[in-house]
Structure 1
Amino acid sequence: MSRTLEDLIAKYPELAVCRTDIERAYETARSSFERGGKMLLAGNGGSAADCEHVVGELMKGFMSPRRLGEAERERFAVWGEEGAYIADRLQGALPAISLVSQSALATAYINDVAADMVFAQQVHGYGRPEDTLVVFSTSGNSVNVVRAVQVAKSLGLATIAFTGRGGGKLASLCDIAIRVPYERTPDIQERHLPIYHALCIMLEEAFFP
């Protein structure tokens, strides 16, 4: 078990019951990125904010600066001094898209088609078999999230859910369900954050040692 995961369990011992699923989520996401895939994320309310948060940790340096290697820097040499400036300020990224960010598309789809399909349509458009869909739902029953997972499964994406104790529909629908042992929404969301922080750190260590 990685030091990061050990630290997580030491700080939040109640999450020991989630250890195996956290390890499986890490392996699944790592495999996806190794195959050139990306991570799609969906959730509502506070869980929507969690989606944005994860993207922020994956798409730029989190615990390390992720400086470009020499081969990558050479691509920008054509721009001279400006190329050096660009290369100095770019960072390695793990591609991730928060499906809650597409406000024009989302509001149009909710208004014109069906509110429960707002994430599913984006999975249909963005998703490829090498990708992973990560969803957050404290109840595990958010209909628009369930629809997204159904589409992802049909397209061959890996699926990971962050839920509360019961897991709801997502517990049996997703490949992996990280069910934190709490019932109240704030208690659940407060534990989701350190888990996805740990996952982001572990992924960063794997790809940007």
Structure 2
Amino acid sequence: MTGHDPIDPVAGRTAAEWDGLVDGLSALAVWPPAGPIVLVAPHPDDELLATGATLAAASDAGTEIRVAAATDGEMSHPHLSDGGRRHLVERRLAETDRAYEAAGITATRTRFSLPDFGAATDADGWGARLTERLAPLVDGAAVILAPWEGDGHPDHDACGRVAATMAGAADVPLVSFPVWSWNWDHPDAPAIPFQRAVRFDLDG
């Protein structure tokens, strides 16, 4: 990531700008998988922003879903005091609870509470701790979902790298998803690897 926040509400891309590329993708052939889904979320709510409908479809089908939140997201507003950050964590968790309920998603959710933005200063150590804590959840998984490792936030990228390594070691399919990169990337010359992408079609 460069030295600025790539999420700019003015200069960032809009969803409509991506429609042409997304509409041209092949649809995901089989969903949900036959076994458990493991999703690695860098921060609480990333999984819903990126894959909420996909998870809801799997939940509706009775598929086991295991979600691991690597951090509590306390640094999303770095100017806050310590007390403000604690309040922010509580608020984000409560909002995520309500979002799961509204979407009808049943999942086993685990918080690792690693330092938010910690991968920016200690990518190897942060990733090692994530790997250790993820190992029990990955056991028996049919697929692992995680941010694309080029997404543009240190924690997102680290989660993507860890998930890719663990998926390879366990011989489990990996599905990567963008979160931040929708905003900083450019549809006319995308860095997101659309040549390997598929889309998930919503029903109704």
Q: TM-score, normalised by structure 1?
A: 0.44
Structure number having the greater helix percentage: 1
Q: Which structure carries more relative contact order (alpha carbon 8 Å, separation 6+)?
A: 2
**In terms of Rg, which structure is larger?**
1
Q: TM-score, normalised by structure 2?
A: 0.45
Structure number having the greater strand percentage: 2
